Structure 1
Amino acid sequence: MKYRVKNLLCFALVLTGIVSCAFAAKKPNIILIFSDDAGYADFGFHGSKIMRTPRLDSFAEQGMLFKEAYVSAAVCGPSRAGLYTGKYQQRFGYEENNVPGYMSLNSTTGDDMGLPLDQKTIGDYMREIGYRTMIIGKWHLGNADRYHPLKRGFDEFYGFRGGARSFWPYPTSDDVERKEDRIEIGFGKFEEPNKYLTEVFTDEAINFVERNQDQPFFLMLCYNAPHTPMHSEKKDLAQFPELTGRRKALAGMTLSLDRECGRLLDQLDEMGLSENTLIVYTNDNGGPSDSNHSVNDPLSGTKANHLEGGIRVPFLMRWPGVVDENSKFEYPVSTLDLLPTFYAAGGGDVGNLDGVDGVDLRPFVVGERKGRPHQTLYWKKENRGAIRDGDWKLLRFPDRPAELYNIAEDISEVNNLANKHPHLVRELYKKLFAWELTLDRPMFQLRREYEGKAMDRMDKFRKPKL
């Protein structure tokens, strides 16, 4: 509340002409904290009595909790492609994670599939409006040099290009089994850290903030926790004597993630930057309960499917002076909305964005606009698909009849209403089909058709929309 009172006073003084306030005209710093494979129920602010997340719980009280936040895909790479472009990633064929030798041509390195070079990223847009940009942690949008973050709108990079790696350091970067999992500093310089990776990423985030505190900055802090491998520090495991196995390891990793988020927040306080910093915390997809023993209750499903447990994620926003403390947003939002929201917050005109599907959330979170930011949201992976229209959700499967749920009344998706509302099933099918006609063919299909052709020309081979 202290942030809001000070900013309102500043605004009043500016209006009365008594004093000029630098904050009134200063661009907000923007930070996205992005975790990996966290379970929907594995946070105190979502009701967990087992996982300990005191810093994120406090963060939720300082801002807004979004009760129905979605990602655009149920797995890591496509979800990130949607977030980074503000578009449904199927529009440019990025429908699946890269599988070396299948999704990409180069079976030796798997480097040939990545975020297409004709797509502008959130880094490109934020840099155009005067932000210093950095990404820390997991990239997972292409291993080849041409897809490197420093070529995709980011001024700085510290992290790894692949999708998962050890939280413990290897003896040297040459010992890393998959080269895309080496820790990279900038471009082409690889160096293994000397301690637990979640802590290292926070160190780099604090370093970036300290170096750029006198200019507007945009930071994406993309932790790989609590994705496998299940590596947890002994001090954190000791906090959960009642747990065993992977659930215990997950609890330790989550506690570490929470502590490191708090360390960054404390640094912003110490530097006097919190009042002018917009921060969002969210996650890349639903928790994979089979692999890291995460829990998505009360949602059905897990990572990689289109039930709520695969696509609904925790989502918090703190924006002092703009977003009310301890508030909640009731309607569906998407990580597609982050790009236009951040761009508008930094002074950009969302009309200049190139065909994004996300919307600027600012008018909704401050109450200037009522109702839903999205009437309809879509998901697709190969021949599976889903559509949420209002409170109705249709799931399409390749091997059984479609299912229909009213999410407002049945968050756990246990009461299939398809037989009761066949007309609604037909209407939602039509709407889903119409959306699919706007999409590009998946890149892994193009791989089969154009095998043997030079991948540096791949963008030219992409098929026109149907």
Structure 2
Amino acid sequence: QQRFGVEENNVPSAMSPAGLTGAEMGLPLDQQTIADYLKKAGYQSIYLGKWHLGGADRYHPLKRGFDEFYGFRGGARSYWPYVTPPQDPLRRWERDYKNFIEHEGYLTDAIADEAVEVIERHQDAPFFLFVSFNAVHTPMNYLENDLPDGNIRLTQKRQQLYAMTKAMDRACGQIIDKLDELGLTENTLIVFSNDNGGAWINYSSNHPLSGVKGTHLEGGIRVPFLLRYGDRFEGDTTFDHPISTFDLLPTFVDVAGGDKNDLKNVDGVSLIPFLNGKKNYRPHKTLYWKKETRATIRDGDWKLIRLPDRPAMLFNIAKDPVEAYDLARKRPEKVKTLYKKLFNWEVTLKRSLWVTKRQNSKRAIDTFDKYRQ
């Protein structure tokens, strides 16, 4: 995403007026979405839940390739329907374009119910369903019935997270059950993943990994990724090499029978040949992360983290996944090589279209230090 000028979080309260702010922060219009590509392959595309790719009308899902939308444009909102309109208009619940009608009941359940209806409506033709739960993002709203019983010992805050996670797990089960019921499972690619590691603000734990959301430690960037495609791949297996959510677009285009030649300047690769055994090497030898002056490179099993207030740190992730042992002093040549390679990548990027306030950099460093094991 840095290639087209999106580098920082889209969090209105944290943004500097030096760049785009508010509803103007959105996916640039010259970028095609997954739905744009799949439309060419004959797919109907439906987006449910949290959008967070631009609040202005020109960024609306129905103007970015999707055919149906049931969700909200912002990054967070209450899990309960608003009785009066929220102060932030991007938190309003919306069906398709500007039909602002609040959902009924608990939001995670409402998204699941809509997903089931979507599958029933589109079962006879190719469809792409993007279900973007806001769970388990703050605010910590939950159903009392989902709290753990007395046999599970958790702090009060962790009990709330448990309940929110349980609701999302139940919602995912509803979706899979509906695919099974309609006989669609064998011909449906199902992916479950997340956009960042667990956050401290909702009492997540990334143990045994170091770090949280917003850091480039493994706990901040390593996320669950579950994939199922009928019986095409052996079940209960683990793919050991790093992949990226950048790989979703080419994977979906591949499965949909789209034209791979349409994918220009795309960093991801289709995962299908790696999962079916046709390719037996790393999908990505090198991966990069960047937020303002903070940046990270992983090259093979070596990972270099660059922070603005200290020398670069070096870890061997294969031997030290919790990033307990900084090897920078022992391997100065490796540091020099990776530092240069990281910089050479950075100079290919566009300047960020929006930036956070300087104070956010200090908070990010404090978070890094607090949550490093």
User: Is structure 2 residue 278 aligned with structure 1 residue 371?
Assistant: no
Contact 1:104–1:110 (CA under 8 A) maintained in structure 2: no
Contact 1:287–1:303 (CA under 8 A) maintained in structure 2: yes
Task: Decide which of 23, 26, 31 is 1:119's aligned counterpart.
Answer: 31
Instruction: Kindly state the Cα deviation for residue 445 of structure 1 after the two structures are TM-superposed.
Output: 5.9
User: Is structure 2 residue 246 aligned with structure 1 residue 346?
Assistant: no
Instruction: Kindly state the Cα deviation for residue 328 of structure 1 after the two structures are TM-superposed.
Output: 1.0
Residue in structure 2 matched with residue 278 of structure 1 by the alignment: 189
Cα distance between partner residues in 2 of 1:212 and 1:103: 43
Structure 1 residue runs of 4 or more that deviate by more than 3 Å after TM superposition: 99-107, 238-241
- Stretches of structure 2 lacking an aligned partner (at least 5 in a row): 358-373
Task: Decide which of 262, 265, 276 is 1:355's aligned counterpart.
Answer: 265
Task: Decide which of 204, 207, 216 is 2:117's aligned counterpart.
Answer: 207
Cα distance between partner residues in 2 of 1:224 and 1:113: 19
User: Is structure 2 residue 189 aligned with structure 1 residue 265?
Assistant: no
Cα distance between partner residues in 1 of 2:66 and 2:207: 36
Q: Any idea what SS the aligned residue of 1:206 has?
A: helix
Instruction: Kindly state the Cα deviation for residue 99 of structure 1 after the two structures are TM-superposed.
Output: 4.3
Cα distance between partner residues in 2 of 1:266 and 1:132: 21
Contact 2:9–2:356 (CA under 8 A) maintained in structure 1: no
Contact 2:198–2:206 (CA under 8 A) maintained in structure 1: yes
Cα distance between partner residues in 2 of 1:341 and 1:310: 24
Contact 1:136–1:221 (CA under 8 A) maintained in structure 2: yes
Contact 1:104–1:111 (CA under 8 A) maintained in structure 2: no
Instruction: Kindly state the Cα deviation for residue 327 of structure 1 after the two structures are TM-superposed.
Output: 1.2
Count of matched residue pairs:
355
Q: Deviations over 1:318-352 (max 9, x none)?
A: 01132211111010000000000010110013222
Amino acid at match of 2:171: E
Q: Deviations over 1:416-447 (max 9, x none)?
A: 00011100000001110111111000112699
What is the Cα-based RMSD across aligned positions, in Å? 1.8
Residue in structure 2 matched with residue 319 of structure 1 by the alignment: 229
CA 1:360–1:104 in 2, change beyond 3 Å: closer, same or farther? farther
Residue in structure 2 matched with residue 188 of structure 1 by the alignment: 98
Contact 1:104–1:113 (CA under 8 A) maintained in structure 2: no
Cα distance between partner residues in 2 of 1:238 and 1:382: 40
Instruction: Kindly state the Cα deviation for residue 244 of structure 1 after the two structures are TM-superposed.
Output: 3.0
Amino acid at match of 1:380: K
Q: Deviations over 1:80-139 (max 9, x none)?
A: xxxxxxxxx1111111123448456899x8111111001111110111111110110000
Cα distance between partner residues in 2 of 1:427 and 1:312: 24
User: Is structure 2 residue 244 aligned with structure 1 residue 334?
Assistant: yes
Q: How does 1:108-147 map to 2 (within 5 A)?
A: 110-147=22-59
Q: Deviations over 1:10-67 (max 9, x none)?
A: xxxxxxxxxxxxxxxxxxxxxxxxxxxxxxxxxxxxxxxxxxxxxxxxxxxxxxxxxx
Cα distance between partner residues in 2 of 1:92 and 1:148: 18
Identity of aligned residues (%): 56
Q: Any idea what SS the aligned residue of 1:329 has?
A: coil
Q: Deviations over 1:293-334 (max 9, x none)?
A: 111011100000100011000000001132211111010000
Contact 2:288–2:297 (CA under 8 A) maintained in structure 1: yes
CA 1:170–1:374 in 2, change beyond 3 Å: closer, same or farther? same
Cα distance between partner residues in 1 of 2:210 and 2:118: 39
Higher relative contact order (CA 8 A, sep 6+): 1
- After TM superposition, the score normalised by the length of structure 2 is 0.92
Deviates more, 1:91-100 or 1:227-236: 91-100
- Stretches of structure 1 lacking an aligned partner (at least 5 in a row): 1-88, 448-466
CA 1:238–1:410 in 2, change beyond 3 Å: closer, same or farther? closer
Q: Deviations over 1:255-283 (max 9, x none)?
A: 11111100111111111111111100001
Instruction: Kindly state the Cα deviation for residue 243 of structure 1 after the two structures are TM-superposed.
Output: 2.3
Amino acid at match of 1:349: D
Residue in structure 2 matched with residue 439 of structure 1 by the alignment: 349
Residue in structure 2 matched with residue 57 of structure 1 by the alignment: none
Amino acid at match of 2:115: A
Contact 2:148–2:159 (CA under 8 A) maintained in structure 1: no
Amino acid at match of 1:425: V
User: Is structure 2 residue 160 aligned with structure 1 residue 244?
Assistant: no
Contact 1:377–1:387 (CA under 8 A) maintained in structure 2: yes
